[in-house]
Amino acid sequence: MLNVGHLAKTFSMLPSQVVKEATTYDLMIADVMSAWEDYQIKKSSGKPVVPDLTSEELLDIFNKGKEKE
């Protein structure tokens, strides 16, 4: 629903118009765009940007750090 609202606001449409006319591709692009904007805002404000890693990837990083000690 947030993506629908975001698209409606961006294109000056009613949410019901977005639901009728938007495709899943439109929603996917809106989601990626929102994530990118959020990333850029956090990056420019100096807040830590945490990558989206799996548990296995995090465990690998942790174990490599322990090996260096």
What's the structural domain count of the chain? 1
Give CA separation, 68 vs 43, 55, 63, in Å: 29, 20, 9
Q: Which residue type, as a one-letter code, is found at position 67?
A: E
Tokens 């698209």 — which residue?
7
What is the extent of the structural domain holding 31? 2-68
pLDDT digits (tens, 9 = 90+) for 7-39: 898 889 999 999 999 998 988 888 898 889 988
Give percent of the chain above pLDDT 70.
Answer: 99
Residue 6's pLDDT band (boundaries 50, 70, 90)?
Answer: confident
- What is the pTM assigned to this prediction? 0.58
